[in-house]
Amino acid sequence: MKKNDWKERLNIVYSTNPDFVYDTDETAEEETLPKNAQKLRVRIERNHRGGKSVTIVAGFTGAETDLKELGKLLKTKCGVGGTVKEGEIIVQGEFKEKIVELLKREGYTQTK
């Protein structure tokens, strides 16, 4: 069902053209690839972090919600904090081997 909320259309100039179609700059969310087709790369980074190291998982192709779910799973299994930003999962600490093992167990076979 199409949203028709007037608050989203504030400050819009309307046309008298009967063929005018209101465009809402909404982008279609990217479809998530199957787990075995994902090419995830795990690396440890220490730059610009005050000497602390983090483990970064990059290369996920798909919806932001699926990426956040995967990030939550990894953070929970490692027992640490972290975040999901700009298409990458950032986990606090050096957990490269553990994360690669967890990802392979979850079905992400093309993980390095």
Phi, psi for 21 (deg, rounded to 5): -115, 125
Q: Cα separations (Å) of 4 from 1, 8, 109?
A: 9, 8, 43
Averages of pLDDT over runs of 10 residues in the chain (112 residues) are 63 71 66 88 92 94 92 95 94 95 92 88
pLDDT given for residue 6 in this prediction = 65
Distance CA 90, CA 80 (A): 11
pLDDT given for residue 36 in this prediction = 87
Distance CA 35, CA 60 (A): 10
Q: What predicted TM-score, i.e. pTM, was given to this entire model? A: 0.72
For the chain, which domains are there?
30-106 (3.30.780.10)
